[in-house]
Amino acid sequence: MTKREVAAEDAGEHGHDAPRGSLYVVATPLGNLADLSDRARATLANADRILAEDTRVTGALLRRCGIATRPSALHEHNEQRRIGEVLAWLAAGERVVLASDAGTPGISDPGARLVRAALAASLRVVPVPGPSALAAMVSVAGLVAERFAFLGFLPSQAKARRELLASVASLPLALVCFEAPHRVRATVAALREALGDERTLVVGRELTKLFEEVARLELGTADEWFAADANRERGEFVLVVDAAERAGAPSAVDDATARWLAALLAEMPPSAAARVAAAATGIPRDALYERAVALKRN
C-alpha cells in the first residue's frame, strides 16, 4: 500500500472520506507537535497541494510528519492573486490544504478570501479543526463573562485603536485580542485607558510552548507586571479583558427570587429559568441555576 493510500485509509477511519476537489482548512499546532490531530496529519499526507502562510514553518512540520509534499506560499500579500489558480486546481479535482503558521487559518491569519471564493464557486470547503489560540486562551481565562468578542490584532494607529475600543467598552462581554511582543505593552496601556483600571486582564503568553504563561491581574497593575520581568514581553500573546462586574449586583438568591424561580420552573427547565431570572434581577446566572436545580430536585 502506498503512503497516499495509507493516508486515505487513515482519514476514513477518522470519519473523513477525503473527497477530491475540496479545500481543506487544516489547524496546525501552536507550538506543541503533539496537538496535531490524526485527521489533520492524514489530510496533509493525502493532499495534492498544500498552501502555507510561511513555507519554511509548514515545511518543517511536514518533514517531521514524514510528508514529502512541498508547500507553496499563500499569505496576505499574494492571496488575492492566487485565488484563480487555486480554484482551477479544485475544479480539476485536486485536494488542496490551507494551513497557517500555527493554529486555525482565517482567524487573524490569511485564508478568508480564498474560502469565500471557493464557496462562491460552489466548491467544497472542509474544516479540519484543531489548535486555536483563541479557544485555548478562553478555556484557561476563568471568565466571569458568559460571552466574548474577538478583536484580532488591534489597529496599529492610535486613533483607530481608540475608536475600536470605545465602540466595545460598554458591552457586557469579555474582549479577546492577539498581540505581538513589540506592541504588547502599548496595547495593554490602550486597553487600560479605554476600559479602566479595575477590569480584569488575563495574559496568555507562548501558549502550548516551553515558556507558556497565563496570568490574571487588574488592568491597573498590568504595566507593573510586565516591567517586573523582561521575559514577560517575549513571545506571542493572547490578551483577554473580562467583562466589567455590574455595580451593586446582588449575589445571593433571596426568598422572593426563589419563589419567582419556582414559578418559572413550572414552565421551563432550570437553565432557561436561571437566564430569565438573571436578566431581571442582576443576580449571577450560576447562583440562580444552582438554586433552580435545588428547587427542581425538591
Give the model confidence (pLDDT) of 14-46 as tens digits: 445 679 999 999 999 999 999 999 999 999 999
* Domain contains 248: no
Instruction: Verify that 40 and 158 share a domain, yes or no.
Output: no
The total of structural domains in the chain comes to: 3
Give the least confident one: 3-12, 40-49, 61-70, 214-223: 3-12
Instruction: Verify that 139 and 170 share a domain, yes or no.
Output: yes
pLDDT at 298: 75
The H-assigned helical ranges of 121-232 are 133-140, 158-168, 184-195, 219-227
Q: Sheet with 200-205: list strands edge to edge.
A: 148-153, 174-179, 237-241, 200-205, 213-218
* Domain contains 247: no
User: Quick check: 9 pLDDT over 60?
Assistant: no
Look-up of cell digits 515545511: 59
Residue range 198-247, pLDDT digits in tens: 999 999 999 999 999 999 999 999 999 999 999 999 999 999 999 987 65
Instruction: Verify that 180 and 272 share a domain, yes or no.
Output: no
| CATH code at position 180 | 3.30.950.10
Give the least confident one: 49-63, 100-114, 247-261: 247-261
pLDDT at 297: 81
Domain around 205: 134-241
* Domain contains 21: yes
Q: What is the gyration radius of the CA atoms in the chain, in angstroms?
A: 23
Percentage above 90 pLDDT, the chain: 74
Instruction: Verify that 276 and 217 share a domain, yes or no.
Output: no
Residue range 135-147, pLDDT digits in tens: 999 999 999 898 9
pLDDT at 246: 61
Instruction: Verify that 124 and 140 share a domain, yes or no.
Output: no
Instruction: Verify that 8 and 123 share a domain, yes or no.
Output: yes
**How many angstroms separate the CA atoms of 221 and 101, rounded?**
33
**Greater pLDDT, 277 or 118:** 118
State the average pLDDT for the chain.
Answer: 91
**How many angstroms separate the CA atoms of 201 and 107, rounded?**
21
User: Quick check: 164 pLDDT over 90?
Assistant: yes
Of 131, 162, 187, the residue at which a domain comes to its end is: 131
Mean pLDDT of 138-163: 95
User: Quick check: 5 pLDDT over 90?
Assistant: no
Instruction: Verify that 272 and 231 share a domain, yes or no.
Output: no
pLDDT at 14: 47
This prediction has a pTM of 0.78
